[in-house]
Every structure is written in structure tokens, then in C-alpha cells.
Amino acid sequence: MATRFSERFTKNRDRINRRETPVQNHTFIQKISAMLSIMLVVAVMVPVLAFAASATVGFSQVTYKNGSVYGTVYSNVYANGVNDAVYVNVYDSNKNPLSVAKATYSASKDGLYYYSFTKDALGGYSYVNVSGNVYDEGVSVGSSVYQVVYDTTSRSNNSSRSGSGGGGGGAISTDGTISVSSDGSVDANTLSNALTSHDTVTLKLSGDFALIPASAIVDAVKDGKTIIVINDNGSITLPLSILNLDNLAKALDVEVKDLKIKVSVAKVKSETAAAVKAAAEALGGTQVADAVNFDVEAVGKNNQTAAISFGSTYVARTLKVTSSVNSKQATGVLYNPAVKKLSFVPSTFSMVDGSTVATLKRNGSSIYTVVQSSKSFADVANHWSKADVELLANKLVVDGVTDTTFQPDRNITRAEFAALVVRALGLSSSSAANQFSDVKSGSWYAETVATAVKAGIIDGYEDGTFRPDAQITREELAAMSIRALNYADVATNVSDPQSVLSKFKDAKDIVWAQKEIAAAINSGLINGLTDTTIGSAEQATRAQSATILKRLLSTARFID
């Protein structure tokens, strides 16, 4: 019989312990102090390479004048706690470190958080380089590329220059924003100049789409820069690194110079809007945002188009919520017009200028909205898993067995948990042929298993089977969950798994997933059955699975 997991979620933090030893020699003390100061500065300036960066970081404005650098850096990560911080690193023209400024949170807008900074008395350089770095619990989670900033006392600031040429795409504002006319055209020179001076450029639309000339973003794609496309319907933050311009041009039989990237942020037509509303009501929910089609495609000659794959990159888009919502009962959703149904999309909520904004994250184009519901199950009313089960039910990640029952203590199969992980990551179903001999094409889980295999979340057994109906063990559950976090670009590697597992007397019973279980414990996804046992062979229940998924989504910042 499976034993329930602990409800407590422990967030591991790096601890730095220092031991001070009295030293009598005054000169030696001075040298040690100087060395420690240099080490501390370097520690701030150099990203922690052991963790994968996941945050978007850039400058909305920055000025270098009379020896001082000041301005605003932004990120999609809110870092304003004791162990969370945003730093701006300043370098000379040869990119040698000069100084570090800690930025202070100032505002949020369109799913981004803005931080102000000032650093004085840098010296007489004609220009300096700056980069931003975001730290979460003392660990670097994202950094920007170098940005050159010229001294405005001697020449015009590079960030304020405008491009030439007519036809759409107005002048660049000091924060890297370009106004785009209703025909969607963006001037190549204007955009190229903006991307030279800014890590992120915002295209503010008068209409529903922007036509981005590929010739203007060739270098920006290589440099990993970002374009935000925004209008009254919402916004999408597009990392240019997802674009393979050569392949897209080849697919449309054009040269890169003749290729455009069309980014649409458009409300759906009335017929589709009615279908979306009906789909929300069918789930017992209420639609609380307009249905908006976010689409990114390549356009060649004669308006021929090609779909653009985002790979495993989660792209953020925002929707304005039309009424007050409880973030524990609301979620972003994708509308599938083929089946006229809604499904969960990783999403968080924030207040911007007094209004609620939903930030939806997914690696694909589609129609999105926000729904709110209030689901409960009679058989979890007094169960330890009540909060997690109802949270994920309202977010459409888990379903009840009936409208009023969840059966929290029932064991869960490998296929059932695979389906939950696929749903939690917001993955599109794969129609690829399955590689397992016991997964038949007509089974309910065939596409789910194929999708999970494609995402690297599941493996089969050595005999070529998946065993979909076998009850999942804690060992298998931990492995799938860690692979799901890795897919979401969350670093989970543990350098010394045995140090994590050493306190559990039954660690020797783990068959094959020592690294995965150590990573799951270290990431806070699972706890021991007791203080000294893991119970890797124990079978998991529906309630335990819901708790694991809730922790997974929270760790990946896919839910609030």
C-alpha cells in the first residue's frame, strides 16, 4: 500500500558558511580584505554556470553621462527579496570589469518587471559595456548580452538613433519601442538599428500583426535578442533564437532577404469567440479574458506561409483579464478548434497599472484565453491533498473520476501519470508512431505516450514495452517529474547524488534512478516516506501525483 508523501514543500537554498580566524599581522589583514573584496565583486559579475539561465533580461533604457551610468533593466522574473536581486555589471571598452550596481525594483508592465540602477564615477571612458544579471536565492537565473553605451557628453547616445526609410515602423524611442502602422510593415533599417542598441525591442502595433523583415534580424538571432509585439489585445515576447531563418527561407523557396516573420496578436472572429465561450461553460468555468490568436509564421513570395516551430522554448504572451480573479482558480487555456475544447497552459497572474494580467507560457502558436472555475470533490474535503487537488482541478491539469469524486487514495498507472505530465507541460499531442510493443494505436494513451517520448519524459523497458497499465512507483514518478522539469529548462542536476541519499537507509533499494530521485529530493518535488526511508518501490496514488505536479509547476514558475 502506498504511503502518502509529505505535503510540505521545502525550497533548498545554498548556504555559505564562513569561518573567521584572528590574524595578528595588520598588513596581511589588508591583503586578505582586498582579495575578498575582489572575489565578492567577481562572484557578482560572473554568472553561476552550474545552473541554466531561464530568465529574460534586458535594458529598457540606459544612459552614460559625466562618468555615471544609470537607467532601467527589466526581467520576466520578480527579484526583490532578501536572496533575490538584479545586478548591472559595468565593463570598459575591452569588457574588463569596472563596477557593479544593484538595481532596485520600480514597476511592472506587460508581464515584465523593471529595476532602476545608478553607478557613479566610472572614469573618462568614451563608452562602456553593461550587462544585467538576475539572481534567485543567490543563483544566477538569467543574464543579458553586452550592451554598448556611449558617453552623451561627447556624442549622441547610440540607443536613441532612428532608422531611415519609409513604409511602417516609426522612429525608435529611447526605450527601444517602434510604432507599427496598421499594415504591419516594419522598416528594416529602423529595426536593425534598434536591435543594435537594445537587447529587447518592442513593436507597438496599431493593427493586429507585424511583418518583421528577416534581413533586419539576422545578427539579432545569433545574439539571442528579443522582440516584444504588443497591442491592445495582448503581447508576445519572442526570443529570436528560436528562428532558423535559412531553413524557413528554404522551405518557402526564397532568399532570407525576401523572407518576413509575421507575428499576429488578434482577437478571434465572433463565431470562434462563441465556440470558446461554450467550451469554457462546458467545463463549468467562466471565461474572463478575450480569446486571442497568437500566431508566428514565416511569409515568402505571393503570401506563401510556413509554420514556425518553437522547439522546447516556452514563449510568454500576455492577456488582460476582464474581471477580478483568484489566481488559484484561474488559468490560461488553449482552444483547439478541431475538437472545440480547452486545455491547460502554464500561466501566472500579476497586477499591472491596477489591472490583472495573465502571462501564458507555451511553445507554440494558437488561440488563448483565461478561464476561472471553482471545483471541489466530496472525497477530498477532509483529505490532506485537498488544496493541491482542487488547485490543479481548477487549472484543468487533473480531472475527477466523477463530477464529485476524485478517489485520492487510488493508485495511478504509468500511462495515467504520463498523461498528467504532458498536460501539465501544455504539450501538443504527437501523432508519431509509438516504439513500444504494448502501446496500441487505438488506445486512449497512444498519443500521450508518443508525446512524452518525444519530449524525453519517459523510457520503456529493455524488452521494448512501456507497461502502460502497471501502477507507477515512486522511483518512476520521480524520474518522469525530473525529466519534465528539465524539459521546462529548469536545472536539476545534483553533483553528488549519494550525499543527498545517504541519510535514507533504504537508498540501496533504488533500482536505477539514483540520480533522478536525488534530484527530485533536492528540487523539493518529493520527500522521504519518513526521515530515514525513501520507499522507491512503493506505488503512488492519485493524491500523491497531484502534489508532485503542483510542486513541479511551482518550481518551473508555470503557476503562481
Angle between helices 414-424 and 446-454 (to 10 degrees): 60
Backbone angle region of 138, left / alpha / beta, with phi > 0 → left and psi within -120 to 50 → alpha: left
pLDDT of residue 323: 85
Domain boundaries, the chain: 44-150, 161-372, 378-555
- Average pLDDT for residues 440-469, to the nearest whole number? 94
Give residue 450's identity as a one-letter amino acid code: A
Res. 293 pLDDT band, cuts 50 70 90: very high
pLDDT of residue 167: 45
pLDDT of residue 160: 35
- Average pLDDT for residues 280-285, to the nearest whole number? 96
Q: Please write the tens of the pLDDT for every residue from 382-395.
A: 999 999 999 999 99
Q: Which of 26-35, 88-97, 314-323 is predicted with the least confidence, judged by mean pLDDT?
A: 26-35
Say which residue, 118 or 153, is predicted with more confidence. 118
- Average pLDDT for residues 480-493, to the nearest whole number? 94
Res. 171 pLDDT band, cuts 50 70 90: low
* Residue in 558, 75, 201 with CA at minimum distance from that of residue 360: 558
Nearest-angstrom CA–CA distance, 390 and 385 = 8
Is residue 556 within 8 Å of residue 488, measured between CB atoms?
yes
DSSP state of 178: E
Percent residues over pLDDT 70 in the chain? 85
pLDDT of residue 61: 80
Res. 173 pLDDT band, cuts 50 70 90: low
- Average pLDDT for residues 29-34, to the nearest whole number? 46
Q: Please write the tens of the pLDDT for every residue from 528-541.
A: 889 999 999 999 99
Cβ neighbour number for residue 527 with a 10 Å cutoff: 18
Q: Please write the tens of the pLDDT for every residue from 194-231.
A: 999 899 999 999 999 999 999 999 999 999 999 999 99
Does position 20 have pLDDT exceeding 50, yes or no?
Answer: no
Q: Which residue has the cell 561627447?
A: 154
Is residue 520 within 8 Å of residue 547, measured between CB atoms?
no
- Average pLDDT for residues 273-280, to the nearest whole number? 98
- Strand boundaries in 11-96, DSSP class E: 57-65, 68-75, 85-91
* Record: fold of 161-372: Chondroitinase Ac; Chain A, domain 3 (2.60.220)
- Average pLDDT for residues 99-117, to the nearest whole number? 85
- The per-residue pLDDT of the chain, averaged, comes to 85
pLDDT of residue 92: 78
pLDDT of residue 152: 65
Q: Please write the tens of the pLDDT for every residue from 35-93.
A: 444 444 444 444 333 333 457 888 888 888 777 888 898 988 888 776 788 989 888 77
CATH for 44-150 (2.60.40.10, 3.30.420.10, 3.50.50.60, 1.10.10.10): 2.60.40.10
Pseudo-torsion of CA 378, 383, 384, 390, nearest 10°? -10
Res. 139 pLDDT band, cuts 50 70 90: confident
For residue 189, CA distances in Å to 186, 216, 244, 245, 547 come to 9, 7, 21, 18, 51
Q: Please write the tens of the pLDDT for every residue from 140-149.
A: 888 887 787 7
- Average pLDDT for residues 324-342, to the nearest whole number? 95
pLDDT of residue 406: 98
Nearest-angstrom CA–CA distance, 4 and 167 = 63
Res. 26 pLDDT band, cuts 50 70 90: very low
pLDDT of residue 76: 87
Nearest-angstrom CA–CA distance, 344 and 501 = 34
Q: Which of 7-11, 167-171, 244-248, 436-440 is predicted with the least confidence, judged by mean pLDDT?
A: 7-11
Say which residue, 104 or 299, is predicted with more confidence. 299
Domains 44-150 and 161-372 agree in fold: no
Q: pTM of the full predicted structure?
A: 0.71
pLDDT of residue 124: 66
Does position 556 have pLDDT exceeding 70, yes or no?
Answer: yes
